[in-house]
Amino acid sequence: MQLMRKLVYGILLLVLAHNYAVAQEIAVCGGLKGTTRYHATEDKPSDWIDDYLNGATVLNKIGDKEFDILYTDLKGIPKSSVQSGARIFLIRRSASDIAILSVDGDAIETYRFYKEESGSLRYDYLMSRFGSYIFDKASVMSGECSSIDFHFE
């Protein structure tokens, strides 16, 4: 998780520094595992398959009400959801749970960052992507978090 944190800070400094004077780190997570369903095509039937994403996911609060999700893509390239055109919305927040919605054109993602009764910090990722992408797909995944700040201002 330390390597992910360093990578994300690098992303923050290099990619986003010109847009944001102060970013508050809310959650640092990674290691998504779950299932993905690629929609059927003429050449291939549809089915659920095991899937994973090894990169980092970081939720940042920018200013008073704005959020961004930083992540590494399949090639390991750091990305910003906001810089890519997404709109990020805080949907729910409690003492042990944060829910975020990301809408980026034909991609809709929900993130739930939470603390389990055992004390483990986790996040769930749900995604539906369609239309302007090479493959339409839906994913349901879960991963671990090294930190989540449920009491952010």
| Predicted local confidence at residue 8, as pLDDT | 56
Mode of pairing for the β-strands spanning 78-80 and 121-129: unpaired
| Predicted local confidence at residue 16, as pLDDT | 47
Query: For residues 55 and 4, what is the distance between their CA atoms, to the nearest angstrom?
Result: 7
pLDDT bin (cut points 50, 70, 90) of residue 136 is confident
| Greatest CA separation for the chain | 50
Query: For residues 47 and 31, what is the distance between their CA atoms, to the nearest angstrom?
Result: 23
**What are the tens digits of pLDDT across the range 43-59?**
878 889 999 988 899 99
Mean predicted confidence (pLDDT) in 67-74: 91
All domains of the chain, ordered by start, with CATH? Answer: 2-148 (2.40.128)
What 3-state DSSP class applies to 41? coil
| Predicted local confidence at residue 89, as pLDDT | 97
